[in-house]
Amino acid sequence: MKYFRRFFIITVTIFIVFLLYLEFGGMFILKTNDKRTITFNIRSSEKIPNNFSNFYNTVYPNSLSENSWNYMSGIFTNSDSPRKECPCNQMSYKILPTLEIKHTKRINYFMNQFIVARFIENKFSQKECLQFNFGSFDFLENRKGLSEVSHSLFKKDAKDLKPMEMAEILALYEAPLKYNRSRNPQKAKERTEHFYHVYLNNSKIKN
């Protein structure tokens, strides 16, 4: 019984230390250049207007208020959860290959990706991560970022977009080639309507 108690205490201690490492490890293992790269990319990103961030947060409920811990717990209940439900986790996934912390082994890469995500989330908001994600996204046809794709498709600023228009941009954001209105008009229309109906249904739930 005494050995079992000792084993239990050691196991729990190791588990707690591991969780603390995931939560705060980025502060210590990220090099100064990596921290500067993350900060620069976020602070130099194009600002997203409230109408678009609200639309995104309605399509992906609580995406701007939760974090990578919520996202990971959601994966255990739904393995198909899109990374877009957590903008900072998505940003970490995109930016990790450019950082010195990257590893080739899959388990290390996955763990470091989560550590970087938590480092970002402890310093920046999900909306700031969303701004990086859209600002750095290539919508193809020489359209990079929300502002360019908005003017290309609708000849207007992002702050003036209507829900159906924002739904089309989300479809492109999901797969810019597959849901391109010029290449695949029917698929683009169907996916746009899907996001629009998700928005309407989730809006009703909110209200």
For the cut 90, the answer to whether the pLDDT of residue 187 exceeds it is: yes
- Determine the average pLDDT of the residues in 72-98: 83
Q: Measured between alpha carbons, how far is residue 70 from residues 64, 76, 94, 149, 185 in Å?
A: 12, 10, 19, 31, 36
pLDDT at 205: 75
pLDDT digits (tens, 9 = 90+) for 28-83: 889 999 999 999 999 999 999 999 999 999 999 989 999 999 888 877 776 566 77
- Greater model confidence, 153 or 103: 153
Three-state DSSP at 136 gives: coil
pLDDT at 83: 73
Dihedral (CA of 182, 187, 189, 191) sign: negative
pLDDT at 101: 78
pLDDT digits (tens, 9 = 90+) for 112-169: 999 999 999 999 999 999 999 999 999 998 999 999 999 999 999 999 999 999 999 9
Three-state DSSP at 6 gives: helix
Distance separating alpha carbons of residues 87 and 98, to the nearest angstrom: 18
For 85, the enclosing helix (H) or strand (E) is none
- Greater model confidence, 92 or 107: 92
CB 115 within 8 A of CB 46: no
Rg (CA), the chain: 20
- Note the pTM of the prediction, 2 decimals: 0.88
Structure tokens at 200: 């309407």
Residue 144: φ, ψ to 5°: -120, 120
Read off the amino acid at residue 78: N
DSSP state of 65: T
For 204, the enclosing helix (H) or strand (E) is helix 185-206
pLDDT digits (tens, 9 = 90+) for 1-33: 677 788 888 898 999 998 898 899 888 889 999
pLDDT at 206: 66
Q: Give the total residue count for the chain.
A: 207
For the cut 80, the answer to whether the pLDDT of residue 102 exceeds it is: no
